[in-house]
Every structure is written in C-alpha cells, then in structure tokens.
Structure 1
Amino acid sequence: MGKTIHWKFTVILLIVGFMVAVQFNSMQKPEERDTRDIWAIRHELSTEKQYHSELLTEIRELDQTISTYKSLNETNAGKALSETVDNLYKQAGMTTISGPGIVLNVRPSAESVAFGVPITGISPDLLTRFVNELNRFKGISLEIDGKRFTTLSSIRDINGVTSVNGLHISTPPFTIKIITPTMEDSEKLYNFLSASTIRDDFYLDNLLLVIGKPEATIEIRGYKERFENQFLKEIPKGE
C-alpha cells in the first residue's frame, strides 16, 4: 500500500514539474507580437498592391507580345522580333535615352572647404543608401558620374575608391542624372528628395547634395559594357 502511494506521488510530482517547466519556458520566450500601428500595416499593404499591379502590367505586355507574334506572318515576325529586342535593350539600359528628369550635384560642403578638410570621395554605403531611396520610384533611369546604373550594376569599394560597374567615381564635385517617365514624376521626385533625410547623410560626410529643378529634357548615355550570355545558345539555321 505504501509503495503504491509513493509511486502515485512520484508521477504527480513529475507532471507538476513538467507543467512548471513549460510555463517558465513560455515566460522566458514569449511569442512575438506585431506591434505595428494601423498606418504601418496600410503602408505595407499599399506597397504590396503596387507590386501586384506592376506584375499584372508586365503580364499584359507579355501576352500582347505573344498575340502579336501569333498574328504575324514570317516576314513581319522578324520585324516584330527586332522591335522586341530593341525594347529589351532600352530596358537593360544599353541605349542612350532622353526625357524629363532632374540633375543632382554632389560637391564638398562650404564648411569643409573653409576649414581645409581633405576632400574625399563618396562612400559606398552612402551611395547605396541614396540609390535605395531612389528605388522608391519606379521606371526611373539613373546615371552616376557619367556611368549608367542598371539592375545589374554594383557599387563597390575598389582599393579604397567607390566604384560603379567597376569604374571609379570621381572625387566631388560630380553630377547624378535621373530620368523619370513623366514631368509630373520629376516634380514628385524633386519634392521627395528635397524633404528626404538623405541630404543630412551627405552633410555628415562633408558633402552637399544640390537638387536641380525638374527639366523637360535630360540625356543619359547607355551602358557601355557588354552583357555576358552564360545560358542561351543560338540554334543553327535549319534546325
């Protein structure tokens, strides 16, 4: 009889100890809660809806291209294919383009010049933050110090000098050109950059970001480097 009671008492203690351990672990590692307010969630939802809209636009454009190919004969199909290739070159930044936009000037701050602070180039981190700010706007074309910046471009530190596409960025002053789809977009970009804290980041690095007024026509040169084709192969004629 005593052994039975002792055994039951041991089981009860094990169960109670297990429950206490689970409760203690849950208190030490509480579930993370989403503490964002309603406006932060609405902003994220708006961003996702914008991405969804852009994807639908791209799908419609591809469907239209396929329909065009199907409706053309062999003679016109070659012309349509050539036009498609030209459009892809434009999207990849291989061609020189012009349109409405703004020109930015990066130059040493007046204080750094007055106090004789050595003028250094823009840092890769600062330039990357600046490009990320611009990526809030879709459909823009960018040229940094005469170097076309595309989705395949990279910003790196090479031997202590900031480089884009493997080419060194000049020591300030230098210019940054931005082309937008419409003049209205240029106005929005101008207002956004004028109110952005990115200008303070430039100032902390003894640099000034001077934002020019929107212009009706700005020219940006095409990407000079050739793209390397690693996967696609041309099919010999007759196959």
Structure 2
Amino acid sequence: MNRVQLRFTVILIIIGLMVSIQYNTIQTPESRDTRDVWEIRQELSKEMQLHSELLKEIRSANDTLIKYENIQSESPEQALRETVMELREYAGLTDFNGPGLTLVVKPSIESMALGNGISIISPELLTRLINEINRFGSQAIGVDGKRLTLLSPIRDINGETTVNGLPIKTPPFEIRIGTSTMEEARQVYNALHASNIGDDFFIDNLSLEIKDPVSKMTIPAYDQPIDNKYLSEAEKE
C-alpha cells in the first residue's frame, strides 16, 4: 500500500467515525424535561418556600446572636436564662399561646350514610398532613392534645395510630396549629384549602374540616420524658 492509498484509507475511517457518531446522536437524543408548566411552577413554588424558610431561620439566628451578645455584656446570667427559655419554647416544652387555627378530623359523610365503620387515621396519612402543615409554616402543633416536637414519633402500635407513644382516639379529634402571627395563620388556612390533602382523607373515609384562624389559642407543652442520648452536663470547674 503506497502513501496515497494509506492517506485515503485514514480519511475514510475518520469520515466513517464522524457519520457513526452523528447517527448515534440522532437516534439517542438527550432526555428532555417532559413536565408541563404547572408542574414546573409547583416545583419552583416549593423551592421558593424553602428558600424563604431558610432566610427566616437565618434572620432569627442572627437576631438571637445579637440579642445574646448585647445582654451578655450586661448580665450573662440573664442572657443564659433567656436563651434556655427560647430553646424550651422551640423544643415544645412550654405551652403555646398565640394565633392559630384548628383542624377537625371526622368520619366522612358518605361513609356514615353507607353505614361503614369509623376509620382511624393511619400513621401515613397523619404524617403527610403534618408535613403539609410544616411546609406551610407553624410554630406549634398539637394532635389530639399531644404536642408534637422534632422527635415525636408517629407509629402504628398494635393497630392503633400513636403520637409520642400515646394512641390517637377514633375520629372526631382536633389538630391545633399555632403560628407566629394572624397573617401566617391565614396563609396556612388558605394553603390547606388549596392543597389536595382533603382528597387523601376522603379516600380513607375521613374528612378534614379547616376552621377559621383565631387570634388566641393554647397548645399544651410536651409532657413526656426526654431521653438525652447525646447530651451530658459539663463538669463544674
């Protein structure tokens, strides 16, 4: 094979590779986002809500830090007491008194008319409702008189749905939602009405009544023992 034939062969190989790559690209296009505009808007709304909540947490932490630094220079003991009280409120160890709204979980009218037995709320449905409430914003939540905390388990124990290890009674029962302001209470009210969570209750032969926000309500504090697995008292010097 002379030099001309060798060059011609190499050129043909390069052209063949290029044609093959182009063919594969046409046959296997990159995956595209097939979601419609509404689904994308919903995802964007969730991300914006999360961003807003993170900014709110950052502002709250900065305010607490500034407040602590100001008080610490005047009275370290007072600063420590106020910090402990704020942490107890955040953990749900104190009664909540402020604006909010009440939800009532009841048997659905259709199930009662058909003579079906009263269904208990499942742990999965209750967990989804709590997640919806937390997504829309809340300062405190009480389920059937049981205060929820960040560590509150919602489980099925012997066929009963429990919160903090205590059984939830058969519907009807109340869920109280405490908020920082009346504006936030109205936002939670409107968001729950716009949510499709009510459809999930209907499927389980239950209904969710969302009562109007009120300016004053009480949610009892968490009253169960707290197990500090990772905290210990520092040694006194």
- Taking structure 1 as the reference length, the TM-score comes to 0.81
Root mean square deviation of aligned Cα: 3.1
Match of 1:59 in 2: 61
Runs (4+) off by over 6 Å = none
Give the superposition deviation at 1:52. 4.5
- How high is the sequence identity, in percent, across the aligned residues? 37
In structure 2, the gaps of 5 or more residues are none
1:49: Cα distance to partner?
Answer: 4.3
**Counterpart for residue 50 of structure 1:** 52
Instruction: Report the residue type matching 1:67 in the other structure.
Output: E
Alpha-carbon deviations, 1:66-117, whole Å to 9, x = none? 4135413xxx312221121111000110111221222221111122122221
The range that moved more, 169-178 or 154-163, is 154-163
Q: Closer, same or farther in 2 for the Cα pair 1:106/1:43, shift >3 Å?
A: closer
The residue that corresponds to 2:172 in the other structure is 173
**8 Å contact kept, 2:71–2:78:** no
Q: Using the alignment, how far apart are the partners of 2:52 and 2:166 within structure 1?
A: 34
Distance in 2 between residues matched to 1:148 and 1:210, nearest whole Å:
20
> For each residue in 1:131-166, what CA deviation from the matched residue of structure 2 results, as whole angstroms up to 9, or x when unmatched?
122123334311111111122223223333322222
Quick one: distance in 1 between partners of 2:125 and 2:15?
58
Corresponding residue pairs, total: 235
Unaligned runs of 5+ in 1: none
In structure 1, the partner of 2:16 is 16
What displacement does 1:37 show? Answer: 4.5
- Residue type at the aligned position of 1:97: F
> Which moves more between the two structures, 88-97 or 39-48?
39-48
Amino acid at match of 1:58: S
TM-score, structure 2 as length reference:
0.82
Q: Which moved more, 1:156-165 or 1:206-215?
A: 156-165
Change (3 A) 1:122 1:62: same
Higher mean C-alpha displacement, 115-124 vs 36-45: 36-45
